[in-house]
Amino acid sequence: MIREIRADDLDDLMTLYTQLHDNPLPEKTDELMALWKSILDDDGHHIIVAEEDGRIVSSCVCVIIPNLTHGQRPYAFIENVVTDQSYRGRGLATACLDYAKEIAVREKCYKMMLLTGSKMESTLRFYERAGYNRNDKTAFIQWI
User: Considering the domain boundaries, does residue 134 fall inside one?
Assistant: no
- The whole-angstrom separation of Cα 63 and Cα 65 is 6
The pLDDT value given to residue 27: 94
How many domains is the chain partitioned into structurally? 1
Task: Please check whether residue 140 lies inside any domain of the structure.
Answer: no
Rounded Cα distance between 33 and 35, Å, is 5
- Domain containing residue 95: CATH number: 3.40.630.30
Distance of CA 136 to the CA centre of its chain: 21
Separation CA 139–CA 16 (nearest Å): 26
- Give every residue of the chain whose pLDDT is below 50, as ranges: none
User: Is residue 135 domain-resident?
Assistant: no
**Alpha-carbon separation of residue 65 from 55, 86, 106 (angstroms):** 29, 33, 13
pLDDT at 61: 98
Residue 113 CB contacts under 8 Å (≥ 6 apart), including other chains = 75, 76, 77, 78, 137
The reported pLDDT for the residue numbered 23 is 87
Residue 143 lies in a domain: no
Please tell me the predicted confidence (pLDDT) of residue 110: 98
Task: Report if residue 144 sits inside a domain.
Answer: no
Host domain of residue 23: 2-129
Note whether residue 60 is domain-resident.
yes
Residue 11 lies in a domain: yes
Cα radius of gyration (the chain): 15
